[in-house]
Amino acid sequence: MGPDDLREDRSRTGVWRRAGLLPRTAHAVTLGEGTTPLLPLAGLLGDRARVHAKVEALNPTLSFKDRAMALAASVALDLGLPGLVLASTGNAAVSAAAYAAAAGLPCRVLCGTGSRAALKLAAAAAHGADVELVEGDYSSAYARAVRAEDEGWFNVTTTYRNPVLAEAYRALAVELLDDLGHVPDVVVVPVGAGPLLRGLLGGFEDAVSAGVAARTPRLVGVQARACAPLARAWRHGDWMASLAVPPPVLPTRAGAIADSLRGYEREGLLTLAAVRDSGGTVVDVGEDDMARATTASAGRGLLVEPAAAAALAALADDEVAALVPDGGSAVVVLTGHGAKEPLAAAPAVAAAEGGER
C-alpha cells in the first residue's frame, strides 16, 4: 500500500474514486456513495476537545451500507451470480435493494419481525426487492440467508460472513483523514457485529502503511444496552466464554444495531480484537441516552436514527470521554438517517391531518 493507492480519483464516481483501496472488480456499480461530509460539532466535549461527525447518513440510501453494497453488486456481476440475498435489520436491506436494482439483479431481503423496520422494508420493496419477514430477531433471519447460499445467491448480509463487504469501509477512514487533516484520537462507531469498525481500522492501517498517518485512532464500539453481546464480552474479559452465552435481548429504538450474534458468536471476536488492537473500548448506552442524543442531533440540523445517535450518546460516557485527551479530537460516525425511522408528526400537522379525516 502506497500513497497513490489512497489518492482520490475525481474522474470516477462513488466508492470507485478510491478504487485503490478496494478489491479489483471489472464492474463498478455506483449510485454516488461515499465522500460524505465531515462536520464540526461544537461543545460536545465542552471546549476541551474537538468533535466532528462523519455524516454517513448522507449516502444515497441514507446509511453507510451503500459503500459495501456498491462493491457487493459489482462483485456479483463479475461472478455472474443470480442475485443478492441478505438478512438485515433494515438499512442493509434498502441499500442492497437499491444497488441490486442499479445492477439489474434480483434481491431477496430477510428481516426478523423483532427488527421493526417497516419504513426501511417498504423502501427495499419499492426498489423491487422480494421482502420476507422471519419470525424472530436478526439472527433468525441470518440463518435463513445462509441457507439461500446453496442456491448460488450472493449472501451480502453485512456481518463477516461475506468478507468482501467490510473492505469497502476502508475508504471511509481515508476520507476522514483527508478531511480532518490529522489522525483523531478517538473514532466512535455504533456496532452490531462490527464489520464497519473493523473495516475502518483496516483503512487507518492502510494510511499508516502508506506513510500518510503516524498511528491509528482508538476505536470505540457502541451498542444498545438492550442487546449488547460485544459490550458484555469486553467487560467480562473472557470474550468467547461471554459470547457463548446468549445475551438478554430487550426491545430497543436502535433495532439497526441489535444483533445477538446467535449462531455466529465467533464473528464478535474479530470486532473485539480490532478494538483491542486500536487501544479503544466497547460500551453500551441506554434507551434514554439514545433518545436524548437523537433529539439533540436533530436540534443541530442532523436527523439521525437512534442507532446512529448511540455514537453521540457514547461521548457522554466517562470511559469514552477519558480516551480523548485535552486539546485532542474525536469523530463520531453518524451511520444512518432519521428519515427511515418513524417520527412523531409535529403537533400542528397531526392536529390538521387528524381533523381532515
Ligand X SMILES: Cc1ncc(COP(=O)(O)O)c(C=O)c1O
The residues of the shown chain that bind ligand X, judged by CB under 6 A, are 63, 89, 91-92, 158, 190-196, 256-257, 305, 307-308, 335-336
Nearer of residues 191 and 213 to ligand X, judged by Cβ: 191
136: part of which helix (H) or strand (E)?
none
Nearer of residues 60 and 195 to ligand X, judged by Cβ: 195
Nearer of residues 71 and 210 to ligand X, judged by Cβ: 71
SS3 call for 67: helix
Instruction: Output the smallest distance, CB 223 to ligand X, in A.
Output: 9
Kindly give, in sequence order, each residue whose CB lies less than 8 Å from that of residue 269, ignoring residues fewer than 6 positions away.
Answer: 239, 240, 243
Nearer of residues 5 and 287 to ligand X, judged by Cβ: 287
Q: For residues 258 and 137, is the Cβ–Cβ distance under 8 A?
A: yes
Instruction: Output the smallest distance, CB 120 to ligand X, in A.
Output: 9
Nearer of residues 89 and 216 to ligand X, judged by Cβ: 89
List, in sequence order, the alpha helices (H) in the chain.
3-6, 65-79, 91-103, 118-126, 138-148, 170-180, 195-209, 229-236, 239-243, 267-278, 287-299, 306-314, 318-322, 347-356
Number of H helices and E strands in the chain, helices first, is 14, 11
Instruction: Output the smallest distance, CB 9 to ligand X, in A.
Output: 26
Instruction: Output the smallest distance, CB 265 to ligand X, in A.
Output: 14
Instruction: Output the smallest distance, CB 312 to ligand X, in A.
Output: 12
Instruction: Output the smallest distance, CB 192 to ligand X, in A.
Output: 3
Nearer of residues 77 and 256 to ligand X, judged by Cβ: 256
**Helices 306-314 & 287-299 angle (0-180, nearest 10):** 100
Nearer of residues 307 and 314 to ligand X, judged by Cβ: 307
Instruction: Output the smallest distance, CB 257 to ligand X, in A.
Output: 5
**Helices 65-79 & 91-103 angle (0-180, nearest 10):** 40
Nearer of residues 158 and 297 to ligand X, judged by Cβ: 158
Which bin fits 315, alpha (ψ -120 to 50), beta or left (φ > 0)? alpha
Instruction: Output the smallest distance, CB 59 to ligand X, in A.
Output: 11
Q: Buried b vs exposed e over 203-220: b needs ≥16 C-beta within 10 Å? A: bbbbbeebebbeebbbbb
CA distances from 285 to 98, 198, 225, 315 (A): 31, 20, 5, 10
Q: How far is CA 324 from the centre of its chain?
A: 22
SS3 call for 202: helix
Nearest residue by C-beta to ligand X?
A: 336
